Structure 1
Amino acid sequence: MTDKRTPLDFDAIRAAAIGNYVSTIFPAAGISFTKAAHQHQACPMCGGSNRFRCDDKRGEGTWICSQCGAGNGFMLVQQYTGLDVYETNKLIAGAIGLDATSEVTDEQRAQWQSQQVEREAAEKAEKRQARIDAAARATSIWDNARPATNDHPYLLRKNIASINLRQDANDNLVIPMNYYNKDTKVVTLVNIQTIAPDSEKLFLKGGLVNGAYHLIGNTTMFGGGIVLICEGYATGATIFDAMSYSLPVVVAFNANNLIPVAQSIRAQYPDHRIIICADNDSATAVKMRDKDISEGKEPKPLIEYNAGIYKAKQAAVTVGGEMVTPSFDILDIDKDAA
């Protein structure tokens, strides 16, 4: 004789749970936060002092941990409790007042759907306003900053020069981040990256990063028909110097932004040769793969751990460009081609 579990309406439980994870479901599962959910704090699963935050997008309890990865509220409850899918649903249902005998009406489903639509609209409006506010702050900071000097500690450590950078009252380097609007064909300042004397890098909270870039050089250099794209300013300044200040270098700020920035440049310069200058994170890749193996996980291909190479290759393929891993003694680009 086999024991049968009482049927549960998983879809209804999932719909009813939206908007209730942080306030009700997480506490019922024993998950507690030491700070406001959206702030960086200890991860309920792996610990650590500043690895985790719950941004609760769309009310789904979404979270990010630099150690554990990311997921939604259901995943967090399941991973934290170690329960299977059925028992996790049962726990969530109990937390929000549903059980196997509860009859979910069409009116309830319509109400949950309406609430979700309203929640998504509110989040979208809030995100848009945050970007508008950040762009205004970026303009103010940039306008009030002074030209950066080459004796800034970060520039000295990297042995690079200040090229179109400024310095704020706290001696942070200020790097402008511009965005090309494909509809209006206009490039505008949307954010800044600051680099402190101790090398800490920050973007303005709420500001647009995806697709935003910094140009080292000037627009007249695009006449040569070649554009170089890289991740960080230090790499970009080094490449710019290696090219004898002859080719424009576009800074994407991180590996994940290489594709949207490359697409932006391709939209502006459809016939140009685009070369992605990749960061080679091979040492980090080996460590990450070895860590997965030590934890009993099936390792991915090594290149997938190497974000610099992996994302650069994707960006090059996406825009019909090329990828190089630059050696700053001899860079695989013909300077005379410009």
Structure 2
Amino acid sequence: MNIKEIVIQAAGRWSDLFDMLAIEVGKGQHCACPVCGGKDRFRFDNKEGRGTYICNQCGAGDGLDLVQKFFSCTVREAADKIADCLGLTVNPNNNEQDNPISKKVVYLLSKSRLGQSKYLTKKGLTFDLPLLDNGRIFAPVINASGEYTGGQFIEEDGSKHLMKGSNKKGSFIWVYPKLSNPKDANAKLRGHNEIVICEGVATGISIAEFHHRDAIIVAAVDAGNLIHVARLIREVNSTARIIIAGDNDIDQSPNKGLDKTDLSQNTGLAKAMEAAKAVKGYYCVPNTDYKCDWDDYRQQRGIDKTKEVFNNSIKQMDKPLNIKLEKDGKKPTLSQMAASQRSEVLLDYFDRELALDTASKDVYHYNGITWDVISDMDLMRSMATIFNDANIPYSQNAIRSTVETLKLQLPTMEKQARNLIGFKNGVFDLTTKQFRPHHWQDWLQVASETLFTPGQTDETLQEHAPSFWKWLSYAARGNDKKINCIKAALFMILGNRYHWQLFIEVTGAGGSGKSIFAEIATMLAGPNNTVSASMVALENPRERALIVGKSLVVLPDQTKYVGDAAGLKAITGGDEVSVDPKHKQPYSVRIPAVILAVNNNAMSFSDRSGGISRRRVIFHFGDAIPKDERDPDLKNKIAQELPVIIRHLINEYSDSKKAKTLLEEQLESEEALEIKRNTDSLVDFCGYLLASVQADGLLMGNANILPFNPRKYLYHAYLEFMRGNGLNKPLSLMQFGLSLPACMAEYGKKYMKRKTKTGIRTNLDINHPISDDWLSKIDTPNK
């Protein structure tokens, strides 16, 4: 089918198509643009049903044009995505062509149309599904690889049956988010943090209504298939939080006693718990005295109440709900236990995966990837849940004493090994050059949210990450050395090499690519591990609480800062700094974070001891990118190339010393020196001086010596330089003398002096040919 025919078929259906493709277009009102991200600049007007839109930044276009821009693809590829949503074109592979079940599913989908079933509307649900001519739903069943394995027919009266020949075991119906192509299922399952598995389609749609929208929701068709679907999904994603949203199938027969915990009388609960236990997951079942699924509960209680109950009902398997601590043949209840016994129960509740930071007194919990801080309030609420599940009353003092006692027996948090780079699906060991699964003893506190995947043998940035390469080449102005230095800075952020005792400062005109550098840095560190702060947050103990636990601290627009940056020096130097959080005791801690400053103009530091200079790696990005060459979607394009970028950085700097050496060279580069000269008048002045190997140059002098002679006295020359360049507030003689060694070191020169009968003589002299623009015309003095 050609593109024109596909567009004709899409007419009048663009709202549904954009929903299926996860393109947010609003409801005819101004909203954020799905392409450039600009706020309140986009409107979907859908003129004549053609999917038309207008954006103040991206311009105007029709539905096909928007799909093309959103996915950064060709017109043909955009048309194919639309056709897949419409069921017009399905390109099965050879295996599917030989599979009669898959062929039958494809045929039925081609005969269906997207629409709302009376079965769902009677339940108060609005959700487009494939409908056959008689109005019944045809829900395709797929496996974790995205292959069709059958289908389920749902009649308008709610009766259901599987398509003949369907292979249900381990397969499921994809409910949410809408899937434009079943082949995308595997990638989406691997890339999500939370996956909800329920029994039926209507239940899944209801959960999509009230549960948070970051989760994938699939329907296993029936309770017996929950465990098989859960196991296969766990094989695909070893770290996701899997929630089994089961049905309450309590037996209400007159001759049966009502016991909600008797699993023999409640198939839905039993199967949900069985599936959750098999994958070390979670389960939640409506806590009612009658048969009820989550869709029934929503209809009876409303979305808000159901959302609250659903979230509060989520339990993890293998929790100590039945207390069996015995002493002298007795079984004490929680209320009878000592605080130390209750703390053991709480520790078991968290699978004994808790540790204590002895500096901050914070408790950390291992989530399967990283060790995250868990607040005292969350610990107390978890203990309250244990009491509630055991149907035992409790007091606030009992809860609080349990948490405080728990801290006394927890193991101490260890430091993360510096040879490990954490990813969502494992860690890369820079020592062994191997990628392996997560282990709690890695003590990771930060990990990239990106999946690490092996690349092609001939993978290059130019071919496989063209958008990143375009930005990098422009930022470095095609300079190969600077390209490598920028990549080294990105590796420092990716690998959290805070212990290199360096910080990065990126300067340049607006629109020169600085913000993209910060965006890429955030992607590499992970948005959850990044915080935007100010120099005040580094200097002030109360404000420092903001940056504790982060691996990347971005300092945007700090040009007005003028100070000695004591906090910045301490943090980048690996020293302990004081933190004074609200409502907690102050403490001292080392902050393992990389500091990145991004400014139009470089920061000014009053410290001239060398403490800042030997840590400050400056990149200047020069002129702004011409407006006609700017790509508003560049950030999103680079985000899609992130796995390629990460693999390149790891391979390029498998010996991390190479990256550190490059940054140290950039620190001493002419580019960095020029920036320092522009922000520090004394550094600039030292650029006009010559240094000899012995103290036979200018006398130091002082401000009171007359006549004023800048060709004889070094301090006079400095005062003349300040006056000649219209600069105020020169340094005192003492400050001048103390600051000279570090400022001359910027040029690789050593400052020397000796005491003589005529005063302090230095090894410095004025480089006259380049100083005539500010140096007074005075006869050359006799030394």
Q: TM-score, normalised by structure 2?
A: 0.23
1:290 aligns with 2:269: no
Which aligned pairs between 1:251-290 and structure 2 lie closer than 5 A? Answer: 251-282=219-250, 285-287=251-253, 290=255
Cα 1:311–1:319, aligned 2, differ >3 Å: closer, same or farther?
A: same
Give the alignment partner of residue 139 of structure 2, picking from 171, 175, 184: 175
Question: Aligned partners of 2:131 and 2:203: how far apart in 1?
Answer: 19
Contact 1:177 1:193 in 2 (8 A): yes
Which aligned pairs between 1:42-191 and structure 2 lie closer than 5 A? Answer: 132-149=99-116, 152-163=117-128, 165-180=129-144, 186-191=145-150
Question: Aligned partners of 1:194 and 1:170: how far apart in 2?
Answer: 11
Cα 1:254–1:193, aligned 2, differ >3 Å: closer, same or farther?
A: same
Query: Residue 137 of structure 1 aligns to which amino acid in structure 2?
Result: K
Question: Aligned partners of 2:189 and 2:312: how far apart in 1?
Answer: 16
1:240 aligns with 2:200: no
Question: Aligned partners of 2:151 and 2:190: how far apart in 1?
Answer: 23
Counterpart for residue 127 of structure 1: none
1:332 aligns with 2:311: yes
Give the alignment partner of residue 214 of structure 1, picking from 159, 165, 173: 173
Contact 2:195 2:217 in 1 (8 A): yes
Question: Aligned partners of 1:208 and 1:135: how far apart in 2?
Answer: 11
Counterpart for residue 55 of structure 1: none
Q: Runs of at least 4 residues of structure 1 off by over 6 A?
A: none
Contact 2:101 2:148 in 1 (8 A): no
Q: CA deviation at 1:245?
A: 3.2
Contact 1:178 1:213 in 2 (8 A): yes
Q: CA deviation at 1:171?
A: 1.0
Query: Residue 174 of structure 2 aligns to which amino acid in structure 1?
Result: L
Query: Residue 311 of structure 2 aligns to which amino acid in structure 1?
Result: D
Contact 2:189 2:233 in 1 (8 A): no
Q: CA deviation at 1:334?
A: 11
Counterpart for residue 304 of structure 1: 264
Give the alignment partner of residue 278 of structure 2, picking from 318, 323, 335: 318
Contact 2:190 2:236 in 1 (8 A): no
Question: Aligned partners of 1:314 and 1:329: how far apart in 2?
Answer: 24
Which aligned pairs between 1:8-23 and structure 2 lie closer than 5 A? Answer: none
CA deviations on 1:12-68 (whole Å, 9 max, x unpaired) are xxxxxxxxxxxxxxxxxxxxxxxxxxxxxxxxxxxxxxxxxxxxxxxxxxxxxxxxx
Q: TM-score, normalised by structure 1?
A: 0.51
Q: What are structure 2's unaligned runs of at least 5 residues?
A: 1-97, 178-184, 287-296, 298-305, 315-527, 529-783
CA deviations on 1:282-325 (whole Å, 9 max, x unpaired) are 2xx132x837x9xxxxxxx8312211101000000111111112
Counterpart for residue 45 of structure 1: none
CA deviations on 1:270-290 (whole Å, 9 max, x unpaired) are 1111111111112xx132x83
Aligned residues: 188
Q: CA deviation at 1:255?
A: 0.3
Q: CA deviation at 1:333?
A: 6.5
Contact 1:255 1:307 in 2 (8 A): yes
> Based on CA coordinates, which of the two structures has the bigger radius of gyration?
2
Question: Aligned partners of 1:290 and 1:222: how far apart in 2?
Answer: 47
Higher relative contact order (CA 8 A, sep 6+): 1
Contact 2:192 2:216 in 1 (8 A): no
Q: CA deviation at 1:202?
A: 1.2
Identity %: 27
Contact 2:211 2:307 in 1 (8 A): no
Question: Aligned partners of 1:205 and 1:168: how far apart in 2?
Answer: 16
Q: CA deviation at 1:235?
A: 0.7
Query: Residue 172 of structure 2 aligns to which amino acid in structure 1?
Result: Y
Contact 2:141 2:171 in 1 (8 A): yes
Contact 1:222 1:248 in 2 (8 A): no
